[in-house]
Amino acid sequence: MPRKRPAHRQQQRQKQEISPSSIAAQALNPGLVVARFGAELDVEDESGVLYRCTSRRKFGAVVCGDRVMWQPTHDNEGVIVERLPRTTLLARPDDAGREKPIAANISRLIIVATVKALSDESYYLNHNLIDRYVVAAESLSITPIILINKLDLLSGAERRQLEADLAPYRDIGYTLIHTSTQESHGLEQLRLQLKNQTCVFVGESGVGKSSIIASLLTQVGIRVGAVSALSGKGKHTTTASTLYHLDGGGDLIDSPGVRAFGLMRIEPADLAHGFIEFRPYLGRCKFHNCIHHAEPQCAVKQAVADGRISPRRYANYLEILVSLSACR
């Protein structure tokens, strides 16, 4: 019998071959891609039943969140024959610079980050990676939410410093959430942001995305491992993207952790639009093609000098600008 979610891995079973002509004669079924395991995908039909499917290559990669049309081929298995149009697609470049899709049809990007303690009793937070994800969200016209996890690792003084460091994001209207699964802190606020949305969780490996998801959901078979003191990385990592349904409405997608995130389909000249606090000054520079780097009489640089734009955000803009230019 077909299985209902949550599903356990299928036992190997005898397959009954179906001829290509009989497959073609069968009606197409609508479905939602809810998991990807290399070349195989789990597709959920309209009644919540899962089928393990492969995909025809003619329409490119299929990822979690994609809505598809599929046909059965064997018991509990099928083939995706059509990928329906997407509203949004989050992607990054692979090692060869080709587009690598991450998740489709998303409405919110949950940027999960955590602080790392340094030897001098300070901490490190990867602001550059956060800003790259924020730019990606702005380019897709979706809502970015910045989630700082493992708050329990900070002292009171460090928490106050973190609030000050993150103030520029809050000042320009972004939602910030501090979470700790150890203290169950911030989870209710996060649930409100996820309600009736399709969200993808993104961030570096080891920031605790899987632990947060396990705390949010009931009866989820996601494996969460302890962190190795030697490597600083989780012993068990999420190797496949998975979409989960929320009890209160909405879906969330867990994506594999990354070490870096490159931007796709963004030209250097367009990057400034991804920094929303730059927008009031765009078009006010001396040169119409100003990229707000070394040009004289730049309205954006003047706003930085006047304290109206965060120097750290501007520095990250310059780093991203250089990386985009180097890829051209």
Residue ranges, CATH 2.40.50.140, the chain:
3-83
227: Cα within 13 Å, side-chain hemisphere: 12
CATH fold of 268-326: Ribonucleotide Reductase Protein R1; domain 1 (1.10.40)
> Is residue 62 within 8 Å of 84, Cβ to Cβ?
no
Name the nearest CA neighbour of 88 among 71, 109, 73: 109
Indicate the CATH number for domain 89-254. 3.40.50.300
Contacts of 40-44 spanning 24+ positions with Cβ under 8 A:
41/80, 42/7, 43/68, 43/70, 43/78, 43/80, 44/5
The tally of CA atoms less than 13 A away on the side-chain side of residue 309 is 23
Tokens of 231: 């490597």
**Single-letter amino acid, residue 190:** L
CA distances from 93 to 258, 262, 266 (A): 12, 6, 12
Tell me the pLDDT of the chain averaged across its residues. 84
On the question of pLDDT at 274 being above 90, the answer is yes
How much is the pTM?
0.83
Higher pLDDT, 201 or 57: 201
Domain with CATH 3.40.50.300 in the chain: 89-254
Q: How high is the pLDDT of residue 173?
A: 97
Binding-site entries:
149-152, 203-211, 285, 290, 292, 298
Mean pLDDT of the region 6-31: 53
Q: Is the pLDDT of residue 167 over 50?
A: yes
Is the pLDDT at 212 greater than 60? The verdict is yes
Can you give the pLDDT at residue 124? Answer: 84
C-alpha radius of gyration, the chain, whole number: 22
Percent of the chain at pLDDT exceeding 70: 83
Annotated binding site for GTP: 149-152, 203-211
pLDDT tier for residue 219 given thresholds of 50, 70 and 90: very low
Q: What is the mean pLDDT of residues 296-317?
A: 98
pLDDT of 49 reads: 92
**Amino acid, single-letter form, for residue 35:** A
CB burial of residue 132 (10 Å; 0-12, 13-18, 19+): buried
Mean pLDDT of 257-266: 84
Query: CATH number of 3-83: 3.40.50.1100, 2.40.50.140, 2.40.110.20, 3.50.50.60?
Result: 2.40.50.140
* pLDDT value at 255 more than 90: no
CB-CB contact of 196 with 249 (8 Å) = yes
Is 94 strand, coil or helix? Answer: coil
In the chain, where does the domain assigned CATH 1.10.40.50 lie? 268-326
